[in-house]
Every structure is written in C-alpha cells, then in structure tokens.
C-alpha cells in the first residue's frame, strides 16, 4: 500500500560552530606522531609511555609516545579496527583494555609487517616507561616486554580512597620516580637526568595551563561558546605536546576567539543551545562523529566533564623549581584518575550542575575500562534527587567499534532528551 501521507523530512536543524583555533591541533599531532617514526629512522632512541611518564623522557630529549594519546589519535584517524583485529588474531581477549589491545596490535603489525597505514603506526620502542594509573597498566608493559624485550620500567601510582592518604601516596610515588625510574632512565641514556630541562618544560606547561583554565570558565556562559569536545581536542597541548612554546600561543589564541564569540553573541551550537549536558567518562574518540550528530540533533551541547580535568588541572601547583614534586602532586590532584571513586566525583558534578546550568547527565561507560565508571547509576540517582535533572548510562567503548551500537545509543540519548524536554516544559 502506498502511504498517502506527507513524508516526514528530518533536516539537520542544528550545527556546531567550529573554532578556527582548533584547526592548529591536527597538524601538530600529526607532526608529533610522524616525528616518532622519523626519529627512529634517523637512529634516535624512542620511548613508549604506558601512563604519564613521558615528561621524564622529554627531559632527556627522548621522543616519546603516550599510550592514551596515541589511542585517541588512532581513533580520530580511523586507524583502530585493523590494529585491534591484529591483536585478536594473536589471541588477545576482547575484555582487555582496548588501548592495550591496540598496542598489542601495533606490536603484531611490526613483527608480522602487516600492511597498516603508516600514519597510524608506531615505531618499535627502545624503552618502555610505565606508570600504573589503572590496574592494567603494569601488566600492559609486562606484555609489551615479553614481546619486544626492550628495557621496561614500571612504577605504581596507587589510587587514594581518603584525602588523608594523599601525602603518603605522593611520597611513595616520588620515591619510585627518583629512586627507580629516573636512575633507570639515566642508565639507559648514559647521562645524568636533566632536571633543568624538566623545569623548563614545566614552566611552559604552567603558563599554557593557566590560560587553558581561563578558557574553561567560558563553559559557565549560556550559550557556551564551545563544547567539551573542543576542550578534549585541546588536551594535547597540555599533555603530550607539553613544554612547546607554541602551546602557550595556542591557548592565548583560543581564549581570544572564545571572547570574540561571546562579544558577538555566538554560541557553539547554531542556531541555539537547547540543552547543556554533563559528559562523564572517556571522550569516545572513535565515535565522536555519531555521538556528536545525535547530541546536535537535539541542540545539545556537552559542556563539562571530569575526564578532561585529568591533565594538569592546577597550574598554581606547578613549581618549576620542584619539578618531580610538581608532577606527582598533579597526579594526585583534584579529578585525576587516582581519585576516580564517586566520593570524589560527586562534589564536582554537584557543583557543575548549578555553575554550568546543566540539564542532564550522560555517563559514558567504556566496556573495556571501568576506571571512571564506578557508581555511575548511584551518581545519576543522587544528582536527580538533589537537582531534578535526569541522566543516562551509555555503554560502549573508548575506541573498539565492536562495543559500539549506534541504534542502542540513539534510543538511550533520545529518551534522555525526551525526559529533559518534559522537565523544561514543566519548568516553563
């Protein structure tokens, strides 16, 4: 039967206004990962950093990767599936961290000379620096060592459960760095550790993250001139691109562009920002496109989240004259994964609800990483009870497409926005 009704047309009603400054990031990250391959070809030593130890490699002028940064890059460049397949062909189980499997896929590709696109490949490391931010990190470096047999050192950054434990755990981590990791690196390089260079890097990082935090304040404005995804893309200049003077320029330019938008009344979502949502958990690097499109179809802007605060959030705590102390104190500072439990997360989210005028919460649960997803339903219930805003858990993964179902995410997000719309109508 021919349906004699007018067909419903679904034209995209909203679009994101892209920030010009963000366009700088793509070429920089390309250059970083390309730089590792070039360095290796030129006979230089290169490092892999499983966890946040790359600053000590940079201080010794060793080109270094950062595992989560690489996974994000690979996800953004659509390079993940063949590498995960390579890992699975080696028998790596699907429930293991997809970032880890990605690296095991790289190792398999190196060993078997698999035809992987060069731009998403890593060179074989000459040294592996591992620091446990999650329970799997040290096992990951162990697995890498078993294959590559290159010098590998792992330190343990133990999560804290009480404020009163921070100092003790910080001291334990500092001692591991100064008494184990740095001597290991000195031995590998055949020279003394360059504390002065680390101080220089931190001085630039301090400046860059100061301006970055000023940019964060723009999220308080309604409409917001930018999105959490923009903030996520801007992590690299304060993380694995840290210490480069251009990163300070980047945030200055970004801040100026955000201010210009505010002056001109331009928001991130065009023509209007309908909903402001909190995003919890990983930025879904491989699936940003479909998730963004879905959010955008409701005029929703992901405003804030705690994951992007993982990366050097407290410039005031960075003292270039105390470089090792500064780094460790940042690891144990507010919002780092060393404080991943709901007890630490809840106050941040509660504060965010009012400060950023949030309408709802999206808890992104990564199937192969539960680090940020402890007590997510409890958090939703608590926030709903206190502030009357709804939330939803999205189950997927950071990068593994096997755990991503667009249909399921679609239904959950639409249901969330239906609840948010109903509450808005009631308030009106």
Among 298, 395, 400, 427, which residue interacts with another protein (rule: CB under 8 A)? 395
In the list 215, 393, 398, 399, the residue contacting another protein (rule: CB under 8 A) is: 393
User: Rounded CA gap, 108 and 101, in Å?
Assistant: 10
Asked if residue 424 binds another protein (CB under 8 A), the reply is: no
User: Does 92 contact another protein by CB under 8 A?
Assistant: no
Reading the block at residue 110, the tokens are 């190196």
3-11, 170-178, 256-264, 335-343 -> range binding another protein (CB under 8 A): 3-11
Cβ-contact 283, 367 below 8 angstroms? no
The binder of another protein chosen from 178, 384, 387, 401 (CB under 8 A): 384
Nearer to another protein, 10 or 42 (CB): 10
Distance CA 144, CA 141 (A): 5
| 8: contact with another protein by CB under 8 A | yes
Q: Which stretch binds another protein (CB under 8 A): 51-59, 109-117, 259-267, 385-393?
A: 385-393
Q: Which is nearer to another protein, 118 or 381 (CB)?
A: 381
CB-wise, 145 or 403, nearer to another protein?
Answer: 403
Scanning 97-105, 198-206, 339-347, 409-417 for contacts with another protein by CB under 8 A, the matching segment is 409-417
Out of 135, 171, 341, 377, name the contact with another protein by CB under 8 A: 377
8 A C-beta contact, residue 361 and residue 389: yes
H, E, C per residue of 327-356: HHHHHCCCCCHHHCCHHHHHHHHHHHHHHC
Residue the block writes with tokens 């940079």: 58
The answer to the question of residue 418 lying near another protein (CB under 8 A) is yes
Compare residues 357 and 367 and give the one whose CB is closer to another protein: 367
CB of 233 to another protein, least distance (A): 27
By CB under 8 A, tell whether 367 contacts another protein. yes
Indicate whether 12 belongs to the interface with another protein (CB under 8 A).
Answer: no
Our finding on whether 293 is near another protein (CB under 8 A) is no
CB nearer to another protein: give 2 or 42.
2
When binding is defined by CB under 8 A, the residue of 171, 321, 341, 408 that contacts another protein is: 408
Shortest Å distance, C-beta 9 to another protein: 8
Matching residue, tokens 């792992």: 154
Alpha carbons 165 and 379: distance in angstroms, whole number: 24
For position 392 contacting another protein by CB under 8 A, the verdict is yes
CB atoms within 10 A of CB 364: 26
- Is 5 an interacting residue with respect to another protein (CB under 8 A)? yes
Cβ within 8 Å of residue 397, ≥6 positions away: 98, 284, 286, 366, 367, 368, 369, 403, 404
The residue ranges that bind another protein (CB under 8 A) are 1, 3-8, 10, 367, 377, 380-381, 384, 390-393, 395, 403, 405, 407-408, 410-412, 414-415, 418-419, 422, 426
């Amino acid at each position: 039967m021919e349906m004699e009704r007018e067909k419903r047309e679904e034209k995209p009603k909203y679009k994101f206004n892209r920030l010009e400054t963000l366009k700088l990031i793509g070429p920089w990250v390309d250059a970083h990962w390309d730089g590792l391959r070039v360095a290796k070809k030129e006979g230089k030593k290169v490092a892999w950093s499983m966890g946040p130890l790359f600053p000590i490699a940079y201080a010794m002028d060793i080109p270094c990767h950062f595992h989560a940064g690489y996974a994000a890059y690979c996800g953004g460049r659509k390079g993940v599936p063949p590498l995960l397949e390579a890992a699975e062909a080696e028998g790596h189980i699907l429930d293991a961290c997809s970032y880890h499997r990605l690296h095991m896929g790289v190792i398999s590709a190196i060993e078997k000379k698999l035809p992987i696109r060069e731009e998403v490949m890593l060179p074989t490391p000459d040294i592996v620096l591992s620091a446990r931010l999650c329970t799997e990190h040290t096992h990951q470096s162990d697995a890498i060592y078993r294959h590559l047999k290159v010098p590998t050192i792992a330190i343990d950054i133990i999560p804290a459960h009480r404020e009163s434990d921070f100092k003790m755990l910080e001291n334990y981590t500092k001692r591991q760095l100064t008494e184990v990791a740095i001597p290991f690196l000195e031995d590998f390089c055949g020279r003394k550790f360059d504390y002065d260079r680390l101080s220089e890097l931190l001085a630039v990082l301090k400046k860059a993250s100061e301006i970055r935090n000023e940019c964060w304040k723009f999220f308080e404005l309604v409409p917001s001139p930018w999105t959490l995804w923009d903030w996520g893309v801007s992590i690299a200049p304060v993380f694995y691109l840290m210490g480069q003077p251009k990163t300070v320029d980047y945030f200055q330019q970004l801040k100026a562009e955000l201010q210009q938008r505010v002056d001109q009344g331009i928001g991130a979502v065009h023509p209007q920002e309908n909903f402001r949502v909190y995003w919890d958990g990983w930025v879904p690097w491989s699936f940003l496109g479909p998730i963004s499109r879905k959010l955008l179809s409701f005029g929703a802007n992901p405003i804030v989240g705690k994951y992007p605060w993982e990366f050097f959030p407290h410039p005031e705590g960075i003292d270039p004259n105390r470089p090792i102390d500064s780094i460790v104190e940042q690891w144990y500072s507010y919002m780092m994964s060393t404080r991943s439990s709901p007890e630490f997360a809840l106050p941040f989210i509660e504060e965010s609800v009012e400060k950023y005028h949030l309408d709802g919460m999206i808890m992104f649960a990564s199937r192969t990483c539960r680090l940020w997803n402890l007590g997510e339903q409890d958090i939703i219930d608590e926030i709903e009870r206190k502030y009357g805003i709804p939330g939803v858990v999205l189950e997927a993964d950071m990068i593994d497409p096997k755990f991503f179902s667009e249909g399921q995410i679609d239904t959950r997000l639409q249901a969330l926005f239906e609840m948010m719309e109903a509450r808005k109508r009631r308030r009106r």
